Amino acid sequence: MEATAASVTPSFSAWRQPGFYVTFVLVLIGGGSVILMGQDTLRETAFTVLMFVGLAASLNILMGYAGYVNFGHIVFFGLGGYFGFYLVSQFNMPLFPAAIAGGLLSVILALVVGAAVLRLRGAYFALATIGINEAARAFVSNFSPFGGSTGMYVNFSSYDEYGGAAEALWHTFTLLWLVIMVLVVVSFLVKNSRFGLGLIAIREDEDTAMVMGVRAPREKTLAFCLSAFFPGVIGTLYFFKNGNVEPEDAFRFQMSLEILVMVMLGGKGTVLGPVLGAFAYERMRGLLLTSIFFKNLHLAVSGLFLLLIVLFVPGGVVGWVRTRFPRWRRFLE
């Protein structure tokens, strides 16, 4: 059996799985209800949750399906977001095309970097991705067109075409919501296609998969690029919403660790897992940061949480429920 990169369309029977629709409807209702309520505070909270859902779900394409743990996933968010923000702030490009451009730059970076690091496996690949993030941050900090170490700020006149700053925030949230729904569909398409089966075979035993006809280098590269595209788009939207971008904010290594926790918490290799994991972790993170005792220890708690998940619930919440309640399996894709 040969898994080809072009075979990303699932069979008709795959579309009948209710688990996909459960995930899609959760995101649809969640974002839609925020827009209907029109509350600024709720919008900001929902934006953060959706951003983490997108970062976790995109990482899951490489980590959950192919089994490659990327500690530098945030570099695509940072560099793609930097480029998209640069186009908006310096050339007054409309937000959506700029976000797509940010995603495409992340894909180019993934192609270049993937040619080298995807030859590595296991801990060697993970360590290499840490170095990529640090290299990208050092490059941006000394790259004068991107503002160097001080970063860039948006010209407030850029918000005028969206009806002012307040309306621009709602416009950005709506775009993010739509991007996340597209990402959920893409994640489902990948998992239930021949391409996805090839990735899963690589995750289980790469050498055996290659013997069986899976073109592992090509499949891994495609998964790496697909995983990189969405963070670049999300980064552009995030920095545009904030009105500025700085190297320390764009390439936070701790965020890469938190994204890993979200994927593991919800259930790697599933469509619903990253959505649930991002929502649950963000709520827990908010409680920790507002706690007098834990506000400076939330990363330590996150690390402990990840250790407990790996040791006792390696399948995450979705995996645990699917094991304990077999009748629910078809609702948990």
One digit per residue, pLDDT tens: the chain, 333 residues? 344 444 666 655 566 677 677 787 888 888 888 887 878 888 998 999 999 999 999 999 999 999 999 999 999 999 999 999 999 988 889 999 999 999 999 999 999 999 889 998 888 898 899 889 889 999 999 999 999 989 999 877 778 888 888 899 999 999 999 999 999 999 999 998 889 999 999 999 999 999 888 898 999 999 999 999 999 999 999 999 999 999 999 999 889 988 998 999 999 999 999 999 999 888 888 777 777 777 677 677 777 877 888 788 888 888 888 888 887 777 777
What's the pTM?
0.91
d(CA 293, CA 11): 51
Give bridge partners of residue 152 from the DSSP assignment. Answer: 245
pLDDT given at position 6: 46
Q: Euclidean distance between the first and final Cα of the chain, in Å?
A: 24
In a domain? residue 81:
yes
CB 316 within 8 A of CB 266: yes
**Strands 244-245 and 152-153, bridge-based pairing:** antiparallel
Nearest to 260 by CA among 329, 316, 323: 316
Cβ of 96: how many Cβ atoms within 10 Å?
Answer: 17
pLDDT given at position 12: 55
Q: Where are the beta strands (DSSP E) in the chain?
A: 152-153, 244-245
Nearest to 200 by CA among 63, 14, 53, 11: 63
In a domain? residue 204:
yes
**Secondary structure (3-state) at 225:** helix
In a domain? residue 325:
no
Query: How many structural domains are present in the chain?
Result: 1
| Residues 240, 273, 96: CA angle, nearest 5 degrees | 20
In a domain? residue 101:
yes
In a domain? residue 213:
yes
pLDDT given at position 108: 96
- In one letter, which amino acid is 26? L
Which residue segment(s) compose the domain that 236 sits in? 12-252
In a domain? residue 151:
yes
pLDDT given at position 322: 84
Residue 213: phi and psi, rounded to 5, are: 110, 0
Nearest to 231 by CA among 100, 89, 97: 100
d(CA 151, CA 101): 19
pLDDT given at position 300: 78
- In one letter, which amino acid is 118? L
pLDDT given at position 9: 62
In a domain? residue 97:
yes
In a domain? residue 59:
yes
